[in-house]
């Protein structure tokens, strides 16, 4: 399920609301931005998606606009419309600066969809073409709202555990956490119900006695513990926020990725309803390479799309605060840590099906025990496909 996303939702909003040292976002925007309407779409340039794709490709994200979604906002040019009430932005879908003959509508998730899973939203609203669905969510909900991922903007999930390096100078990875917390009596604070934690317990990385599932998203308990406790978070945001925007802490934290312990979903992978994969194939054959190139272009020069992200955060005005500093940190960190990468080959956005199969084998007993057993006979090929990936498109080395 989307416990991970909800945890981040609560966490970041709470952290920033509680901090007295928040960085300001962009100035308020009007409901219409970018100088024009998104309909009708402009005539297609070198890439023509008209006729094979929906007139408006609707993408449902899993949270408010943020740098990790930059590849999507790279698809918008200067002619876009902001719908602040519905927390969405739309305009002609661009490829290398040229229109593709169709429009794109990017919808915020999290509070904008009542914190429900993107999978559920996709089945409630059939106007959605693609949604951000993590692999573990796709596994868990395969019986009720099956989805198939076609593009992975994040190669590694940013979900992590963080700690105070002064209090725990000998902790360098998750494998050190268990003994460290046993020695101090500290706890790992996390969002209750997270499947990754069930895996970590069963794999022996942590004892139940050193877990606290009452994490409320605010920094108060972490700060109050004076460094004794550890806490879940996202490697692409909290390390910067705690050091620079939580004045009560105001110092570095160290962290390790949950993926390094063997629970490695593809986070926010762009997915379709499984039953529509075949009918959308002509569209996806042309669209997915555009998505790949947009991600490459974004990380080569994220300034324009980041400016739009900050503008949207301001326009949506729903309590989410996101600074230029966090965005800059995220853009650098996801590359430095390999969260965004070509993986083991030269292609961006593809899936390692052996890795998906490994997660599937680990997740089935956990979700079954949690009361949401995955679909019987589920395989990696049901969950992800590389059929539409252009192997020639990747980040430059």
Boundaries of every domain in the chain: 3-154+269-383, 159-256
In whole angstroms, what is the distance from residue 162 CA to residue 334 CA?
16
At the second CATH level, the architecture of 159-256 is 3-Layer(aba) Sandwich (3.40)
Predicted pLDDT of residue 39: 56
- Cα dihedral angle (123, 124, 130, 132), rounded to 10 degrees? -90
Q: What is the pLDDT of residue 138?
A: 97
The one-character DSSP state at 208 is G
Instruction: Decide: helix, strand or coil at residue 72.
Output: helix
Predicted local confidence at residue 38, as pLDDT: 44
Question: Comparing 3-154+269-383 with 159-256, is the CATH topology the same?
Answer: yes
pLDDT (0 to 100) of residue 133: 97
For position 31, what pLDDT does the model report? Answer: 45
Q: What is the pLDDT of residue 119?
A: 96
Q: How far apart are CA 73 and CA 94, in angstroms?
A: 10
User: Counting beta carbons within 10 angstroms of the beta carbon of residue 220, is it exposed (0 to 12), middle (13 to 18) or buried (19 or more)?
Assistant: middle
CA distance 10 to 240: 17
pLDDT at 194: 85
Give the residue from 110, 104, 98 showing the smallest Cα distance to 66: 110
Strand residues in the chain grouped as ranges (E):
56-60, 81-83, 88-95, 98-107, 130-133, 147-151, 159-163, 188-189, 211-212, 230-234, 254-257, 269-273
Compute the Cα dihedral for 207, 212, 213, 216 and give only its sign: negative
Side by side, which strands form the sheet with 130-133? 81-83, 88-95, 98-107, 56-60, 130-133, 269-273, 147-151
Q: Work out the angle at residue 274's Cα, subtended by the Cα atoms of residues 270 and 277, and round it to the nearest 5 degrees.
A: 80
pLDDT of amino acid 191: 86
Give the pLDDT of residue 8.
42
Element (H, E) at 324: helix 324-336
Beta-carbon contacts of 337 under 8 Å, excluding residues fewer than 6 positions away, are 156, 158, 235, 257
Rama region for 279: left / alpha / beta (φ>0; ψ in -120 to 50; rest) = alpha
* Tens-level pLDDT at each residue, the chain (397 residues): 333 333 344 444 443 443 333 333 333 334 444 444 445 666 777 899 999 999 999 999 999 999 999 999 999 999 999 999 999 999 999 999 999 999 999 999 999 999 999 999 999 999 999 999 999 999 999 999 999 999 999 999 999 999 999 999 999 999 999 999 999 999 999 988 788 999 999 999 999 999 999 887 789 999 999 999 999 999 999 999 999 999 999 999 999 999 999 999 999 999 999 999 999 999 999 999 999 999 999 999 999 999 999 999 999 999 889 999 999 999 999 999 999 999 999 999 999 999 999 999 999 999 999 999 999 999 999 999 999 999 999 999 7
Read off φ and ψ for residue 220, nearest 5 degrees: -55, -50
Residue 266: name the closest of 386, 180, 103, 149 by CA: 149
**Tell me, what's the pLDDT at 40?**
65
CB 65 within 8 A of CB 312: yes
* Three-state secondary structure call for residue 212: strand
- Give me the CATH code for the 3-154+269-383 domain, please: 3.40.190.10
Confidence at residue 380, expressed as pLDDT on a 0 to 100 scale: 98
CA–CA separation, 144 and 395 (whole Å):
36
């Amino acid at each position: 399920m989307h416990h991970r996303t909800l945890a981040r939702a609560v966490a970041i909003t709470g952290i920033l609301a509680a901090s007295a040292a928040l960085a300001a976002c962009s100035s308020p925007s009007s409901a219409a931005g970018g100088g024009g309407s998104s309909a009708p779409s402009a005539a297609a340039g070198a890439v023509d998606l008209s006729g094979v794709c929906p007139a408006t490709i609707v993408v449902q994200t899993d949270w408010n606009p943020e740098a990790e979604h930059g590849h999507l906002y790279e698809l918008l040019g200067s002619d876009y419309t902001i719908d602040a009430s519905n927390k969405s932005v739309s305009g002609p879908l661009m490829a290398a600066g040229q229109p593709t003959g169709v429009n794109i509508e990017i919808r915020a998730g999290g509070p904008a969809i009542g914190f429900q899973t993107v999978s559920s939203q996709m089945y409630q609203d059939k106007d959605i073409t693609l949604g951000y669905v993590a692999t573990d969510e796709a596994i868990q909900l395969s019986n009720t709202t099956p989805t198939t991922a076609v593009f992975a903007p994040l190669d590694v999930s940013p979900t992590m555990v963080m700690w105070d390096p002064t209090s725990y100078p000998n902790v360098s990875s998750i494998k050190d956490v268990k003994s460290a917390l046993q020695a101090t009596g500290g706890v790992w604070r996390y969002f209750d119900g997270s499947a990754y934690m069930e895996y970590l317990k069963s794999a022996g990385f942590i004892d139940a006695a050193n877990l606290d599932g009452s994490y409320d998203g605010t920094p108060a308990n972490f700060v109050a513990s004076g460094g004794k406790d550890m806490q879940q978070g996202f490697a692409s945001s909290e390390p910067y926020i705690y050091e620079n925007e939580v004045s009560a802490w105001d110092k570095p934290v160290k962290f390790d990725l949950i993926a390094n312990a063997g629970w490695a979903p593809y986070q926010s992978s762009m997915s379709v309803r499984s039953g529509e994969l075949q009918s959308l194939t002509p569209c996806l054959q042309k669209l997915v390479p555009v998505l790949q190139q947009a991600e490459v272009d974004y990380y080569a020069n994220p300034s324009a799309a980041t400016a739009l992200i900050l503008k949207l955060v301001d326009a949506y005005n729903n309590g989410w605060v996101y600074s230029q500093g966090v965005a800059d940190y995220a853009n650098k960190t996801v590359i430095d840590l390999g969260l965004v990468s070509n993986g083991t080959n030269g292609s961006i956005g593809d899936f390692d099906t052996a890795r998906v199969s490994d997660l599937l084998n680990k997740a089935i007993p956990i979700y079954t025990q949690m009361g949401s057993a995955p679909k019987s006979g589920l395989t990696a090929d049901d969950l992800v496909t590389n059929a539409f990936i252009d192997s020639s498109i990747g980040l430059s080395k």
